[in-house]
């Protein structure tokens, strides 16, 4: 079936003043909002590209992509969120100067801060309501636990006072198999049931354990493999005996082993490595696709998935520029070798953070990209277009076009994922419950009426 995808990325935000005056981070976030939506400070703002930009718990700017029914569209719109935030920095720093202050504002696309707090990158997949959600969850949990071997962003942490390299930033902050909470008891699979669509037909699979990726290829592989495995499970395919004895313990143990040799225990007593488990899913997915009509995208996903697993098994450094944890490890190790310092050097911790800086003039990932050390998966022109233009084949088009019209007419409006409302004349809440539908007759009629009307002050 066609599927709707979405990513919600929370960003780290910090201010480094030139002097002794330090502004609260709430004020800095307000300047970021002003750079995006002048003369207002909304706590929940939808944009002309159909996305949502808002303040999350802990004063984190959060960008939710518009609804996408194509994985490549999703990757492009996720990158557009980075560019939108980067574009806010000059205006925000100018506001600082207006107040007689100076300093640098940093926005990081990562998942942990120096105090040990975490913030997430949530994934959303529309799935069928008629499929048993708990059976889906049981089949998916081992996949998500082990997926970090290609989706992890990498992190240097101290263990017993010594620096150690971890595959994932989020893994150490996961406490439950399943939970409805996203903060107090973070889980592998979130059970909150908010489909933002026809609840009788659909459910939204909400995943909160993943890392934020700088690599567009890592984002592509992270999301597309879930799509493939979920489709397989929805069609009744399953891998028997794959359940882990302790998934929370397993996700942490796998994260602590960049050699990828650590084996975790299954409920049936077997012990397998993350690579072994991913191979089981890969083989089952390959068998499943042989029973389905040919699909160019899924064929590519299968091929790339197998290529990456083979490289991880033989020499992970083959994946520099594609997989974030590999790229960062290579970058830091090269620096340590060149400088003759240890991994406990303060400059290593700085590099670990600076890899995620969204400012392309100083972020280490983008410095690698400038030197053609990364795989360029998405076109910059497509990213720039996605900053203001919604996907043309989903509900996001209706929302984005409506917002653009209302702003052009200087009209007050209210918008959410499933409704639109133009305040004042013709004040009516219009429901948009079908995320696959890129048009809405009632919205078209409303906009035509407003365009034709002669409004007097």
Catalytic residues: 56
How far apart CA 25 and CA 311 sit, in angstroms, is 42
With contact defined as beta carbons under 8 Å apart, do 124 and 7 qualify? Answer: yes
How far apart CA 402 and CA 442 sit, in angstroms, is 12
With contact defined as beta carbons under 8 Å apart, do 155 and 352 qualify? Answer: yes
How far apart CA 223 and CA 211 sit, in angstroms, is 12
List the one residue out of 66, 416, 358, 6 whose CA is nearest residue 208: 6
């Amino acid at each position: 079936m066609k599927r709707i995808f979405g990513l919600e990325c929370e960003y780290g935000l910090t201010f480094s003043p030139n002097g002794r005056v330090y502004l609260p981070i709430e004020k800095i976030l307000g300047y970021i909002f002003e750079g995006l939506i002048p003369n207002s400070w909304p706590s929940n703002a939808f944009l002309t590209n159909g996305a949502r930009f808002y303040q999350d718990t802990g004063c984190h700017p959060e960008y939710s992509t518009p609804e996408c029914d194509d994985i490549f569209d999703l990757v492009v719109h996720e990158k557009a969120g980075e560019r939108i935030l980067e574009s806010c920095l000059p205006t925000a720093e100018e506001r600082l100067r207006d107040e007689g202050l100076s300093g640098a504002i940093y926005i990081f696309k990562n998942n942990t801060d120096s105090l040990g707090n975490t913030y997430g990158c949530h994934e959303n997949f529309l799935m069928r309501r008629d499929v048993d959600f708990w059976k889906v969850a049981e089949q998916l949990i081992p996949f998500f636990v082990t997926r970090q071997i290609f989706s992890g962003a990498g992190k240097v942490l101290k263990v017993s006072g010594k620096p150690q390299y971890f595959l994932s930033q989020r893994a150490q902050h996961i406490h439950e198999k399943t939970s409805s909470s996203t903060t107090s008891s973070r889980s592998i699979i979130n059970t909150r049931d908010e489909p933002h669509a026809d609840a009788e037909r659909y459910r939204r699979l909400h995943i909160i354990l993943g890392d934020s990726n700088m690599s567009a290829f890592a984002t592509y592989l992270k999301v597309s493999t879930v799509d493939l495995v979920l489709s397989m499970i929805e069609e009744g395919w399953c891998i028997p005996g794959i359940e882990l004895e302790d998934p929370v313990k397993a996700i942490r143990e796998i994260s602590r082993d960049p050699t990828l040799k650590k084996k975790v225990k299954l409920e049936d007593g077997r012990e397998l490595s993350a690579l072994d488990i991913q191979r089981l899913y890969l083989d089952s997915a390959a068998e499943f696709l042989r029973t389905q009509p040919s699909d160019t995208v899924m064929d590519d996903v299968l091929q790339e998935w197998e290529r990456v697993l083979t490289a991880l098994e033989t020499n992970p450094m083959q994946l520099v520029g594609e997989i974030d944890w590999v790229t960062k490890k290579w970058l830091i190790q090269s620096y340590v070798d060149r400088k003759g310092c240890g991994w406990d050097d303060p400059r290593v911790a700085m590099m670990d953070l600076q890899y995620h800086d969204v400012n392309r003039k100083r972020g280490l990932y983008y410095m690698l990209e400038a030197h053609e050390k990364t795989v360029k998966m998405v076109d910059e022109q497509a990213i720039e277009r996605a900053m203001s233009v919604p996907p043309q084949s989903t509900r996001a088009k209706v929302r984005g076009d409506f917002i653009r019209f209302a702003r052009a007419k200087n009209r007050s409006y209210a918008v959410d994922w499933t409704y639109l409302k133009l305040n004042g004349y013709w004040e009516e809440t219009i429901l948009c419950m079908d995320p696959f539908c890129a048009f809405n007759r009632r919205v078209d009629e409303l906009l035509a009426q407003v365009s034709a009307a002669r409004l007097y002050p």
